[in-house]
Structure 1
């Protein structure tokens, strides 16, 4: 991805008198290196502390026309959008809808939640702007929802993959396009295979968004992973410890910058999400790809055999493996002859195929091999990671 110099500099110019960003940002930058060197990172904690002040603190916006609420720690944090913010978001999403073959005359059922949170209204807004008839079903009541979808000829479905399977089991015909969200989809091989088997001819769309950044990326036809909406945001990946950018293809923390957002603009915002960024040939005009979407959090890190390992990555390693509950404990110790020993204890049962799957996934995901893998019926309470090397 070439650095969006003009868009970044326009954002810096616009934000130089912003109550939060003013005094923190340079007037201009020449390239990605200067941007990373001169623009400070900001954290979710900083954002939450500011936006939960009376009147939303430095992020007050008199022009906001929509407020969603999203849980961040103990607080329900307001997420604001101006009319222009919603229009830009909708325009970007409509390019994706067109790429997926969605058109006026389609009928979309939205089974994401609507109460306070963002997803339901987000999908409804873009579908309606694209000329699609939208049915705001929300979650739950699968039999009734399936009956409505069948009766009204639903061709597009947006919702949780697990709930989508319930709808099909209850008699809903497979839609032409399915937008998945709310749980790991392409990263969960078992769930993805179940949905593909239930919808063999359906265009399956994985997506990644944050309440603060809506949308971030989606699967485009012909793409692997999700491609970033780079007309809305600039995506970097950094080393979580040093804060320095890492080369394409290396694991690190996703950092996002709004290019044109009016309400609550965020610059070099640390998401805490662990991902890999690559650059591809243009896919419907977009070149920035997250091939594995996100697969962990950067809240904790342990260095093992010279490699940075994030315990939350193990969720992806165990996802969809039959017989396992998903609970595990990683133990790092010293070998008698020197070097690190890595043991993984998982809760549940493992046959030979499951064992091979976990060991292979672990090595692929973390770039190191397990010394021992043990399955137990019940994992005792305790920390997810034990480092016994000290």
Structure 2
């Protein structure tokens, strides 16, 4: 389904009411909105730079929160920015995650190994908190020391693993028994076909869960058993997609920049927050209570766009197309020229591609960008330069 995404009017208006006196948001927000169009027209977008500008003020500026019970950090703007949660925030996110863990059949009796980092960053404690709240025994292992970690997982009878896919493969090679459920994060997973296939081969009977979150918006979406892509935790966040250039809201099924709004966050609430991530948003039939879907998760960033044949092309999309392709040994560049009065697209790739792989790259490029390549060439090396070169 690609029909209109439901607008949570009551939750949005309750959020607007709560933030009426907020020193940052209050002056920017209307008292109420009637629908998605009204929300987009009357509520301004905010960027990461807006958040950072406040956090750099004495006492964290408008985002100070004396009732916060947890402070993690995230790399932002060349430094580390604090990420705050209140007790209410932790209760809300664990309640939302509980519905997902229930759908995955996870609960008391399960043992979860958390191999995300715990030092400063948010993921390790995030997974431990939600698991423990649901009665799951947790091993707070963190990343590294694969041989010892694999042995501990075997001894403890681990049934659930949370961590980076690459490290999960290392653990399997070190002798860790395959878990019943694997929560992947920290690197592209379902969008990286070779990596996903390798994990599937290493864990053929494991339920594989992809996830998408930002440190400042946690969680956003996860794979739901029986679905595709990731489904948004829509009791926590309202998701939109906009044209990155004009900031105009886009209809479902159209690729654009993901914009997120916290619905219940107490510490550091974000409203119409531009993530800079490229995605497609659709509306599905209810699946374990979820209806807002990102079928391809996220596949690029809104960086240095070039428009060709009426389509906006983003450099990071090229990385998505070539991720894990065998034979690609170095850089890549898309060159846009004018030939016989029309845009001509040449993708140059450092490395070697056999005919079947080259055709797969052509298909992947068209699927990703909605336009076809005129030429695909391989070269030994590429000189330094932009990922997309506009030579028109």
The TM-score, its normalising length taken from structure 2, stands at: 0.98
Which residue is 2:314 aligned to? 310
* Distance (whole Å) between structure 2 residues aligned to residue 354 and residue 327 of structure 1: 17
* Distance (whole Å) between structure 2 residues aligned to residue 261 and residue 200 of structure 1: 38
Q: Does 1:95 align with 2:77?
A: no
Secondary structure in structure 2 of the residue aligned to 1:214: strand
Q: Does 1:119 align with 2:123?
A: yes
Secondary structure in structure 2 of the residue aligned to 1:173: coil
Secondary structure in structure 2 of the residue aligned to 1:27: coil
Q: Please give the per-residue CA displacement for 1:134-182, whole angstroms capped at 9, x wherever unaligned.
A: 0011001111100000111000000011110111111111000000001
- Within a 5 Å distance, the mapping from 1:243-262 to structure 2 comes to 243-262=247-266
Which residue is 1:146 aligned to? 150
Q: Please give the per-residue CA displacement for 1:185-222, whole angstroms capped at 9, x wherever unaligned.
A: 00011111111111111100000000011000000100
Q: Please give the per-residue CA displacement for 1:221-275, whole angstroms capped at 9, x wherever unaligned.
A: 0011000000001000000111111010000000000001000000000000000
Which residue is 2:364 aligned to? 361
Secondary structure in structure 1 of the residue aligned to 2:258: strand
- Within a 5 Å distance, the mapping from 1:84-233 to structure 2 comes to 84-233=88-237
Which residue is 2:323 aligned to? 319
Say which structure, 1 or 2, has more relative contact order (CA 8 Å, 6+ apart). Answer: 2
* Distance (whole Å) between structure 1 residues aligned to residue 51 and residue 153 of structure 2: 40
Which residue is 1:374 aligned to? 377
Q: Does 1:340 align with 2:350?
A: no
Q: Is the 8 A contact 1:329 1:384 kept in 2?
A: yes
* Distance (whole Å) between structure 1 residues aligned to residue 146 and residue 382 of structure 2: 34
* Distance (whole Å) between structure 2 residues aligned to residue 184 and residue 379 of structure 1: 25
Q: Does 1:3 align with 2:7?
A: yes
Q: Does 1:35 align with 2:44?
A: no
Which residue is 2:24 aligned to? 20
1:299 to 300, 303, 321: 303
Q: State the shift of 1:381 in Å.
A: 1.3
Over the aligned positions, Cα root-mean-square deviation in angstroms equals: 0.8
Q: Is the 8 A contact 2:306 2:313 kept in 1?
A: yes
Secondary structure in structure 1 of the residue aligned to 2:257: strand
Q: Is the 8 A contact 2:331 2:381 kept in 1?
A: no
Q: State the shift of 1:346 in Å.
A: 1.1
Q: State the shift of 1:73 in Å.
A: 2.5
Q: State the shift of 1:289 in Å.
A: 0.1
Specify every segment of 5 or more residues in structure 1 that has no aligned partner in the other structure, as ranges.
none
Q: 1:367 to 1:75 in 2, by over 3 A?
A: same
Q: Is the 8 A contact 1:319 1:326 kept in 2?
A: no
The TM-score, its normalising length taken from structure 1, stands at: 0.98
Q: Is the 8 A contact 2:315 2:387 kept in 1?
A: yes
* Distance (whole Å) between structure 2 residues aligned to residue 340 and residue 6 of structure 1: 47
Secondary structure in structure 1 of the residue aligned to 2:30: coil
* Distance (whole Å) between structure 1 residues aligned to residue 388 and residue 129 of structure 2: 43
Secondary structure in structure 2 of the residue aligned to 1:216: strand
Q: State the shift of 1:72 in Å.
A: 1.0
* Distance (whole Å) between structure 1 residues aligned to residue 65 and residue 47 of structure 2: 20
Q: State the shift of 1:353 in Å.
A: 1.5
Q: State the shift of 1:326 in Å.
A: 5.8
* Distance (whole Å) between structure 1 residues aligned to residue 306 and residue 388 of structure 2: 9
